[in-house]
Amino acid sequence: MTETTSAPAGFSILQAVLRFLLRLMMRLDCQGLDNIPEHGPAILATNHVSWFDVPIIGAFSKAPAATFAADKWDGFPVIGWVLAHFGQAIWVRRGAIDRRALKQALNFLRGGGVLGLAPEGTRSHNGVLQQAHDGIVWLAARSDALIVPIALWGHEDVTGHWRRLRRPVVHMHVGKPFKLPPEARKARSRDLEPYTEMIMKRIADMLPPELRGYYA
């Protein structure tokens, strides 16, 4: 039976503060929020534009989502605590496949958790989709998790808008949740790419054509 993970202390207050601040700084276009599940196992799969991705999704997630974070922030004052407490951070060693972090994420999903994950791995900065990694397929197939595609854009250069005293229009569109086909569970590592492309196409379809990049 799926367990529901409990929210960290202060989670609802943080969400309210985030929504207030984001609406002050940006004009938000949020669509499909009803597609976000209240519990897992589920993966919120998003394109990766800027560090604003995490607070935008976190402000509207119905369950506290765990996130991967670079281990350089572990123990870092304020930022490290926020990531660990509210972001339920899974610390990742950069530069190599971190199997310990993948195993921790898998156990979190199997326990009914919701995981926020950017399959591209690194920020695109200009909002154009890059080729994604296959780790999301490995996790989804082994946890039988729902995959919730999320497309974000409009915040590629928020500071530029603010310097001109303008609020950027930032879009967060959430697609219909889906599961990978059963055969994905038996796929070998070298055969995961078509399933990764399946996920990324769902994200790309919600983006403007000029931002679909590798998945146009």
For the chain, the average pLDDT equals: 85
> Is 6 part of a structural domain of the chain?
no
Cβ within 8 Å of residue 203, ≥6 positions away = 45, 46, 47, 129, 149, 150, 151, 175, 215
pTM: 0.87
Domain that holds residue 47: 32-208
Highest mean pLDDT among 53-57, 82-86, 201-205: 201-205
Running DSSP on this structure, what letter comes out for residue 100?
Answer: H
Quick: pLDDT tens for 26-80.
899 999 999 999 887 999 999 999 888 888 988 898 888 888 876 666 666 666 6
> Is 13 part of a structural domain of the chain?
no
> Is 113 part of a structural domain of the chain?
yes
The predicted structure's pLDDT at residue 4 = 47
Q: At what angle do helices 53-60 and 11-25 cross, to 10 degrees?
A: 120
The predicted structure's pLDDT at residue 155 = 86
Closest among 136, 126, 116 to 59, alpha carbons compared: 116
CA distance 129 to 141: 23
Cβ within 8 Å of residue 26, ≥6 positions away = 154, 155, 158, 167, 168, 169, 170
> Is 8 part of a structural domain of the chain?
no
Task: Please tell me the total count of domains within the chain.
Answer: 1
**Per-residue tokens: 174:** 């959430």
> Is 75 part of a structural domain of the chain?
yes
> Is 9 part of a structural domain of the chain?
no
Quick: pLDDT tens for 88-136.
777 777 766 677 888 888 999 999 999 999 998 888 878 899 999 988 9
> Is 178 part of a structural domain of the chain?
yes
Beta carbons of 154 and 210 less than 8 angstroms apart = no
> Is 84 part of a structural domain of the chain?
yes
Q: Binning pLDDT at 50, 70 and 90, where does residue 2 land?
A: very low
